Amino acid sequence: MPTDQDVIVPVAQALSTTVGLVSVRGNLAPDGGIVKVAGCETRVFSGPARVFDYEENCFAAVQASRYTVGDVLVIRYEGPHSGTGMREMLATTSAIYEQGIGETVALVTDGRFSGATRGLCIGHVGPEASQGGPIALLRDCDIIDIDADAGTISVQLSDEELATRRAACAVMTSSRVRLAVCPDRGAGALRRGSASRLKCRNASACRGVKSSPRHTDTCAGGH
C-alpha cells in the first residue's frame, strides 16, 4: 500500500464528475430509477426493448443468446411489491458479461442489482410493474433512451399511446395479490412461487406485450 498517496483530494481534482450512484427519471420511470455509474463505460444508450416478466425468463434468453447487440433487456415484476425477497439481478448481468458484450446492451428493471453489477443497468424503476408503472406497458421493440449523465430514461412513446395501452388493462393490487382485469376476459391470475406473485392468465393480451421468453422476432431497423 503506497504511503505517499493523497486519500482526500480537493473538488478541483475530483476522481470522478459524479458519485458512484446516480438517479434517472423520465416517462419510463416517473418515480425515478438508480444506475451505478462507477466503472460504467457506456452512459448513453438507445435501443429496442426486449421485455421479460421475471428474471428467470431473461436469464434463459441470455444463456441461449436470444438477444441482439444494441438491445435494452427489460426485467419486470421483480420490485418490492411483486418480487418475493427482491432478489438481485446479478445472474443475468454476469451471464451477459461472460459472453463478452456487456457494454453493448443495457438492462432496465423494477428490481435491484448487487454491488458487483457491471454495465449500464438501471434498477428500482418506479412505479414498479405490479403497481401500474409504465414499465408494465412496454412491448418488444419499443425504443428506450437512457442518459445517465443527464439523469434521464424514457421510452419513445407519446402520452396518448401510453394511455391507450393502460386503458386496455386495469391492474388491481394488494399487499399479497395482483390481478389483471382484461377486457372481455374477466379477472384471472396464475400462481407463481408465492401468493405475492400472481400473474394474469391473459397477460400478453391484457398488457399488449410479448412476454414469451423466446423473443426471436425482429424489430424494425435490423434488430
Nearest to 223 by CA among 67, 51, 57: 67
Which of 145, 74, 153 lies closest to 111, judged by CA?
A: 74
Query: Residue 19 class from Cβ within 10 Å (0-12 exposed, 13-18 middle, 19+ buried)?
Result: exposed
Clarify whether 114 is annotated catalytic. yes
> Cell 445517465 sits at which residue?
148
Catalytic member of 46, 114, 204, 212: 114
For residue 216, the SS3 value is coil
Q: How many whole angstroms separate alpha carbon 141 and alpha carbon 59?
A: 19
Residue 161 grid coordinates: 399511446
CB 78 within 8 A of CB 55: yes
Catalytic residues, by residue number, are 114
